[in-house]
Amino acid sequence: MKLKSFNYIISLLIIFSFTPLISEEKIDIWKNKKENKSELQKPESQDDQIESILKSSQTIKPQNQIKIEEGITSISEEKKIYGIYEPASYNLSLNMWSTTKAEDLKSSLKRLNKIELSNSSKEILEAILFSFSYPPKDMTDKEFVELKINWLIENEREDLIEDFLKRNEQFDSKSKAVQYLVDKNIAGGNIKEGCEKIKFIDAKIKDAYLEKFKIYCLVFNNKKPEAQLLLDLLREQKQSNKFYDEKINFLLGLTQETSNKINEKNLLNFYLSSITIKDFKYEPTKKTKPEIWKYLNAANLIKLEDISDKEKLKELETAANNNQLDKNKIFEIYKQVPFDLKTLINANNTYQTLDGSDARALIYQKYLLTEANETKIKYLFLLDELFKKDDLVNVYAKFLSNRIEEIGIENLPKDYQETALNRVVTEEDLTLGKVRYNDKILHQSKILKYFLEGENKKKVQKDIDKIFKKISKNKKYFVSAKDLALADALLTDGFSLPSNFKYDELADKFDVPNNLLKLIDNDQKAFLALKIVEIIGEDEPYELDSETIYFVTNLLNKMNLVTIRNKVLNSALPKRI
């Protein structure tokens, strides 16, 4: 870094004047690099310094700025970190991505986006992705924070977006994050809550969209003078436009009329159109934006004015199948399709002569008129076939599941019970239940209390000696991969196992994938954890086979990722009731 000679002299005077106050070790850090390196005390690495901080009671400050030059504090380069969680909470560090290539991280996340991750997989992913850290190789902090925000938006994690905004005062993509929260609330018809998200906007954010919404919120909360003032400023900055000015003037009471033209450029414009146009009507199409579909749903603005318009009905069915339209709306429309009595009576034969929408509407109405459970389930499964025929399974899956649960599996004919049970959609949330310890099986024994309940280590060591001794007396006992997973975790945490338990000999029977072991050699903690998320994927850990549970926990032990390991053990090992 080149300095003007005057500034350079002043800097030297300041340094020399404070030299008596600085210890010898600290003076060495600032010595000329050309000096003999052997005469310098080796500076503590940045990662070591950070680890020391994290082990103390201090916490990371958002947007921490650290200047680095070959491990030495400098004024030549500025680094910023962003996140939600303290990395030490997950046995990670600020440099956890430093040996990972940016492309490897992006590719892994791209694969994960194609998987319906289990709750455990999501928790592990969020822990490593949103712990404070420096970016991977060849990635700027701007790109890294954008990757995080994009992931949160794509996965609709409004709660974590708010946490991120609270923990990180200024960052690129902040306006994008705030606009997502605003639009999410507009789309849901929650204008009051949307206006509360404006608190995240500050003077440093120069975003016309958010400023316009802020002005509308003042109008919404009957603070018209303040709204007028901000509107004038917006106009002076040439950030407003004719459409917005017209709508706000109308809402402020400055004009008595407004245009009936519907503006779909963005959700705010569409919303302003809907609340200012008398007898507002809008016909969505395939090109309609998803957020506008959601708002139309929330505001109950989707109606099929002409029930005979089959093309329009098909468009709505497709929208429901694509999760753009509330699926219940389709069944409401089906009830309105007119059929004469003869057609309803002969529905079993007549539906085959009708097009897809009419056939589904007829069988649905026939189902509603039926009382016997045996006949009801018959029509429900016939409807299932009709939805499948037109690739509209997503419209019907949850509806069928709910109807089966209402009837009750036990109330169905035996011929239907197994099929019906397979069509019931289970809730994603997993309730593990209460642990039942079983000291006859190592991986289900009360030794687990250490990992699940934080049992005292001395007490646990006594339990280890007692239970291992008991199991060794059982000549028929087979040591499973789950037992080895527990044993490996105990050894990692400093416990001793009986000498007659040949852990190394037993562990040799199981192979840990070499490509994952290489990540350990390269000190790629975070990326290894990400690969483990890929392995667990859609499953909860308890659903994995025993060998996979072992090598997953073994890898986590080798990298000292004990917090994540304990989460896996908590799900995979104990017996629950």
552 and 466 fall within a common domain: yes
Domain membership of residue 119 (yes or no) is: no
Domain membership of residue 174 (yes or no) is: no
Domain range enclosing 552: 442-572
User: What is the 3-state secondary structure of 82-141?
Assistant: ECCECHHHHCCCCCCCCCCEHHHHHHHHHHHCCCCCCHHHHHHHHHHHCECECCCECCCH
Which range (133-137, 139-143, 402-406) has the least confidence? 402-406
Count the neighbouring beta carbons within 10 Å of the beta carbon of residue 231.
Answer: 24
319 and 413 fall within a common domain: yes
Domain membership of residue 214 (yes or no) is: no
pLDDT at 30 over 50: no
pLDDT at 2 over 70: no
pLDDT at 426 over 70: no
457 and 539 fall within a common domain: yes
Residue 61 or residue 202, greater confidence: 202
pLDDT at 548 over 80: yes
pLDDT at 25 over 50: no
pLDDT at 493 over 90: yes
446 and 568 fall within a common domain: yes
Distances (CA, A) of 325 to 291, 297, 320: 11, 6, 4
pLDDT band for 18, please (50, 70, 90 cuts): very low
**92 alpha carbon, distance to own chain's centre:** 20
pLDDT band for 347, please (50, 70, 90 cuts): confident
475 and 386 fall within a common domain: no
Distances (CA, A) of 296 to 180, 217, 303, 392: 17, 20, 10, 21
Residue with tokens 């938006």: 153
Domain membership of residue 404 (yes or no) is: yes
pLDDT at 545 over 90: yes
- What is the average per-residue pLDDT within 361-379? 89
Confidence at residue 342, expressed as pLDDT on a 0 to 100 scale: 84
Domain membership of residue 491 (yes or no) is: yes
Amino acid at 81: I
392 and 499 fall within a common domain: no
Percent of the chain with pLDDT over 90: 51
Give 210-249 pLDDT, tens digit per residue. Answer: 999 999 999 999 999 999 999 999 999 899 999 999 999 9
319 and 390 fall within a common domain: yes
Domain membership of residue 62 (yes or no) is: no
- What is the average per-residue pLDDT within 391-403? 89
Domain membership of residue 524 (yes or no) is: yes
461 and 554 fall within a common domain: yes
pLDDT at 467 over 60: yes
Q: Which among 367, 394, 422 is the end of a domain?
A: 422
Mean pLDDT estimate for the chain: 83
Confidence at residue 433, expressed as pLDDT on a 0 to 100 scale: 64
Confidence at residue 370, expressed as pLDDT on a 0 to 100 scale: 87
pLDDT band for 532, please (50, 70, 90 cuts): very high
Confidence at residue 428, expressed as pLDDT on a 0 to 100 scale: 37
Q: Which among 375, 391, 422 is the end of a domain?
A: 422
Runs of H (alpha helix) within 337-372 = 341-345, 347-350, 356-369
- What is the average per-residue pLDDT within 518-528? 91
Q: Give dist(CA 10, CA 375) in Å, integer.
A: 94
Q: Which among 422, 457, 477 is the end of a domain?
A: 422
- What is the average per-residue pLDDT within 109-134? 94
478 and 566 fall within a common domain: yes
Tokens matching residue 234: 């917006």
Q: Parallel, antiparallel, or unpaired: how do β-strands 65-69 and 72-80 relate? A: antiparallel
Q: 320, 326 in Cβ contact below 8 A?
A: yes
DSSP 61: P
SS3 67: strand
- What is the average per-residue pLDDT within 114-128? 93
Question: Read out DSSP for 534-550?
Answer: HHHTTS-GGGS-HHHHH
pLDDT at 32 over 50: no
- What is the average per-residue pLDDT within 74-89? 77
pLDDT band for 78, please (50, 70, 90 cuts): low
Give 263-321 pLDDT, tens digit per residue. Answer: 999 999 999 999 999 989 888 888 889 899 899 988 888 877 778 888 888 888 988 88
Number of domains in the chain: 2
Per the document, the length of the chain is: 577
- What is the average per-residue pLDDT within 255-263? 92
Long-range contacts of 299-304 (CB under 8 A, 24+ apart): 299/189, 299/274, 301/274, 302/329, 304/333, 304/336
521 and 403 fall within a common domain: no
565 and 463 fall within a common domain: yes
Give 552-562 pLDDT, tens digit per residue. Answer: 999 999 999 99
pLDDT at 34 over 60: no
SS3 69: strand
448 and 568 fall within a common domain: yes
Domain membership of residue 266 (yes or no) is: no
pLDDT at 447 over 60: yes
Tokens matching residue 397: 């899956």
Confidence at residue 425, expressed as pLDDT on a 0 to 100 scale: 65
